[in-house]
Structure 1
Amino acid sequence: MTVFFRVIASFILLFAAAANAAPFSADSCDIDASLLNKRYDNDLDYKNTRAETDFFLLVYSNSPRFCDYMERKGREDSVRFQCESDNDFGWVVHGLWGESRKAYTSGNFEGHPRYCKGDLKPLPLKTLEPYLCMSPGTRLLQGQWEKHGACDFSSPEQYFGTTLSLAQRFKVPPENLNPKQAVRWMRDNNPALKRIWLHQTRTEFGICFDKNFDVMSCPRRR
């Protein structure tokens, strides 16, 4: 076999492996280490240790729209893996957030548990790498652990593992849909969500879970 055909064959095998990989699993995308942001420490903004977690919210964001936004802001160098790699990232997981029902229904953004253990040190890159196909950014993953995960989970592995397990329960909509269309698609294509009220904003959508991680309708906002 010539070098050319060996290269073509390897690409075919790689594509087939990715196509058969579980959604968001470590082998469902190609991780080019040269594109990863190695400066992924996050600054603490505000801390809320008084609020209690009443339910969890798994939030999805649209990668192409996010990359367009970062390019307009001139910040594309910090998200090269998500926005410049050969991967076709569509709707990806923004994070799993512990939510206060009172804060959620009132729209009080600062009323949720946040940075419960303060400004934490950056996690080792090897801890983040298995979840980069789910949430394609080292800074994103580090931030989600510090801001949200540390409030309810004893370790980053438990937090990211739970997030991945929840995300893999559902099919994800095409990337060209807006959040309103994506919510409708999620209900039509995931039987467990058929009669469930989903979270929706101008740019994202999400699925709510009770503290046993069973799907629930998100609280109605006032």
Structure 2
Amino acid sequence: MKFWVVAAALLAAAPALAANDCILDDCSDQGPPRERAAPRDEGAAYRPRGTTPSGDFDFYLLSLSWSPSFCANGGAQKSRRQCAPGANPGFVVHGLWQQYARGYPPACDGSDLPYSVASGLGDLYPDPGLARHEWRAHGACSGKSPQNYFADVRAARDAVTIPAELRAPREDLYVSPLDIQRAFIAANPRLRPGMMAVTCQRGALQEARICLSKDLRDFVACPDVVRRGCRSQSIVVPAGR
């Protein structure tokens, strides 16, 4: 079935919006400022001395990269394993990032990921180099140990259902970013408009970015993330090669 037909069906099946729902790029944070509690700093041993832990954050952003686009735009030189002919992994974990309601913590510059942890992440990241990078740039300053940070990444990945029509398309799809969001909403009943964004690069799907609570039990509204989403009317979702 052509994706535009599936997308039309998903649009019809998507839940109706309530008056107070967050509508894509027209969202606002109406809650009062909150005092931040001091986070437990179990990751202190893995963080550069003098660096403030970013365990003080509001929500997580799970970034799922569309692997065929990554490989077509220079990724094959960075990750031969991910971009090997026939690999066709579809959506893969790029990262789990700490976010503020407005803005985000600065990138970390943490210590290397212990081999004992890295060796167990083969089913989570498409390339071990990406896992090491994500730990140094985000995990080491999360306020958590490597084991607990990557347990969060795994839980976040498992909390999101990939729409069936986007798991391994056999041909290129031409859709709008809104079609992709509607597909995710239909596949994840608690996900609502204003809780995710689709990004694009060079006219192609780049990532699906989904906002999750700190305990990873709920999807949350994230206006700043939504505002940075793709504004193209139509993009290509390249099939794996």
**Partner of 1:134 in structure 2?**
124
1:127-206 alignment to 2 at 5 Å? 127-173=117-163, 174=166, 175-176=168-169, 179-194=177-192, 197-202=195-200, 203-206=206-209
Matches within 5 A, 1:40-119: 49=52, 52-70=56-74, 76-84=76-84, 86-103=86-103, 111-115=104-108, 118-119=109-110
1:143 aligned partner, one-letter code: H
- The residue correspondences of 1:118-129 to structure 2 (distance < 5 A) are 118-124=109-115, 126-129=116-119
How far apart, in 2, do the equivalents of 1:130 and 1:50 lie? 25
Aligned to 1:41: none
Q: Distance in 2 between matches of 1:188 and 1:83?
A: 29
Gap change, CA 1:195 and 1:102, over 3 Å in 2? closer
Letter paired with 1:67: C
Q: TM-score normalized by structure 1?
A: 0.63
Does structure 2 conserve the Cα–Cα contact (< 8 Å) formed by 1:55 and 1:98?
Answer: yes
Q: Which runs of 5+ in 2 are unaligned?
A: 1-50, 201-205, 228-241
1:210 deviates by: 2.0
**Aligned 8 A contact 1:99 1:113 in 2:** no
Alpha-carbon distance, 1:120 to partner: 1.4
Q: TM-score, normalised by structure 2?
A: 0.58
| Higher percent of residues as helix | 1
Question: Structure 1: any 5+ residue segments left out of the alignment?
Answer: 1-47, 104-110
Corresponding position of 2:216: 213
Checking the alignment, whether the CA contact within 8 Å between 2:93 and 2:125 is kept in structure 1 is yes
Work out the CA distance in 2 between the residues paired with 1:188 and 1:81. Answer: 32
Query: How many Å separate the matches in 1 of 2:160 and 2:222?
Result: 20
Write the letter of the residue equivalent to 2:65. S
Report what 1:32 is aligned to: none
In the alignment, residue 105 of structure 2 is paired with which amino acid? H
Structure 1 residues 180 and 134, CA, compared in 2 at 3 Å: closer, same or farther?
farther
**Distance (Å, rounded) in 2 between the aligned partners of 1:138 and 1:58:** 18
In structure 2, how many angstroms separate the alpha carbons of the residues matched to 1:180 and 1:128? 36
Aligned-residue sequence identity (percent) comes to 28
How far the C-alpha of 1:122 sits from its partner, in A, is 4.4
Counterpart of 2:130, as a letter, is L
1:123 shift after superposition: 3.0
Paired AA for residue 70 in structure 2: F
* Paired amino acid for 2:92: V
Could you tell me whether the CA contact under 8 Å between 2:61 and 2:211 is conserved in 1? yes
Contact 1:187-1:193 at 8 Å conserved across structures: yes
Aligned residues of 1:81 and 1:137 also touching (Cα < 8 A): yes
Q: Indicate the SS of the match to 1:83.
A: coil
